Structure 1
Amino acid sequence: MKQVNIINFLDINKGKLATTISEDYKPVFLKQGDLDGACGPYCLMMALLINGAVEMEDVNDLWNIKLSSRLGKLVKAMREHDTLFTNGTDIKDIVLMVDNSFGK
């Protein structure tokens, strides 16, 4: 039988999941990119997939991609930016990477 467990000390505050264990509401939910700053590259890869510029098989194996291909050049630029994108990426970073990989 399926069971639903209620966590009493969680609530939504200002649109964010938060804990009510202390007097202050403290956010507790993390989403993709919160820890590694790679949300920009994830969005870019999804946009390239949607537009047919890359194939899922290629995106699923970025470590073994031919670096001289258009996608490979993009992956190389992402690696040079920093493996974990600890400083995040902004639109200028993404535009530069795409322009250098896929052309203008």
Structure 2
Amino acid sequence: MSSIKVINTIRLCSKGVLAKDANGKYVKLHKRQGDMDGACSVYSLAMALLCLGVVTEDDLNIYNKPDRRTQKGKFLSHFLEEQGLVRNGYYFSTLAKEINEQDFGIIATRKCRQDTNDIIDIIADTLDEEMPVIISTDFPDGGHAMLAVGYETNNEEDAITKILCLDPSEEAPNFSSWNCIIDVAHKYSKSEYPFDNITKSQSYKVALGDILIIEKRK
């Protein structure tokens, strides 16, 4: 028998997957990137900020200009305006550095992939603290970033079998809290790409890369 854990900062209803924004209003969480935009990590960051309740839906509206007189406005302007079209992706090391250089009360902790089992456990431990995790996957043609919002375990072995994610390159889910599953049941495989990345539109082999933990500065 399997069990599913989803962070309690999001909820699923007839309107889709929602998170409570900085105004205390439940808003749609999923953000989808454009076909030419490689900034999947920035889209994942935007969803993480909504989960943390530190930005509003209007803050992320493309037609609203951030108020650069505020720390939040400077933060949003940097990531949503100054970077422009990020075609080749955003390295987690760069993203973490730039987040931590901003004075917005948000801190990013990058965990490097050294051992697959360790990184899976760190993802699960962070989700157990009701915080989403920005994760990266590697595949033969490149890499991708998504927001992990839950996981599945096998109760008999207490082993994590799947990581449940919101993928910014896919359609928003309307009947589950995720639109992507990373099947990590074969974590002991010696294959370079041991896991199955499964979405509505495709399925392909991946390896887990680095992760970013985004949290409020204490």
Check if 1:76 corresponds to 2:66.
no
Encode CA deviations 1:60-102: one digit per residue, 9 max, x unaligned. Answer: 146511023233222332244x300123112122212321232
Q: Is the 8 A contact 1:65 1:72 kept in 2?
A: yes
Deviates more, 1:69-78 or 1:41-50: 69-78
For residues 95 and 67 of structure 1, what CA distance do their matches in structure 2 show?
21
Higher helix share: 1
Counterpart amino acid of residue 46 in structure 1: M
Compute the TM-score of the two structures, normalised by the length of structure 2: 0.29
Count of aligned residue pairs for this structure pair? 73
Q: Is the 8 A contact 1:36 1:84 kept in 2?
A: yes
> What's 2:96 paired with?
95
> What's 1:45 paired with?
46
For residues 47 and 66 of structure 1, what CA distance do their matches in structure 2 show?
21
Q: Give 1:1-104 correspondences, 5 Å limit.
A: 32=33, 35-61=36-62, 63-78=64-79, 79-80=81-82, 82-101=83-102, 102-103=104-105, 104=107
The alpha-carbon deviation at position 43 of structure 1 amounts to 0.4
Unmatched 5+ stretches in structure 2: 1-31, 108-218
Encode CA deviations 1:9-43: one digit per residue, 9 max, x unaligned. Answer: xxxxxxxxxxxxxxxxxxxxxx8366211111110
Q: Is the 8 A contact 1:33 1:39 kept in 2?
A: no
Q: Secondary structure at the match of 2:33?
A: coil
For the pair shown, which has the larger CA radius of gyration, 1 or 2? Answer: 1
For residues 33 and 61 of structure 1, what CA distance do their matches in structure 2 show?
13
Q: Is the 8 A contact 1:40 1:89 kept in 2?
A: yes
Counterpart amino acid of residue 56 in structure 2: E
The alpha-carbon deviation at position 56 of structure 1 amounts to 0.8
Q: Is the 8 A contact 1:58 1:65 kept in 2?
A: yes
For residues 63 and 98 of structure 2, what CA distance do their matches in structure 1 show?
15
Compute the TM-score of the two structures, normalised by the length of structure 1: 0.55
Unmatched 5+ stretches in structure 1: 1-30
Q: Secondary structure at the match of 1:65?
A: coil
For residues 73 and 96 of structure 1, what CA distance do their matches in structure 2 show?
15
For residues 62 and 52 of structure 2, what CA distance do their matches in structure 1 show?
19
Measured on the aligned residues, the alpha-carbon RMSD in Å equals 2.4
Counterpart amino acid of residue 98 in structure 1: I
Q: Is the 8 A contact 1:37 1:85 kept in 2?
A: yes
Counterpart amino acid of residue 55 in structure 1: T
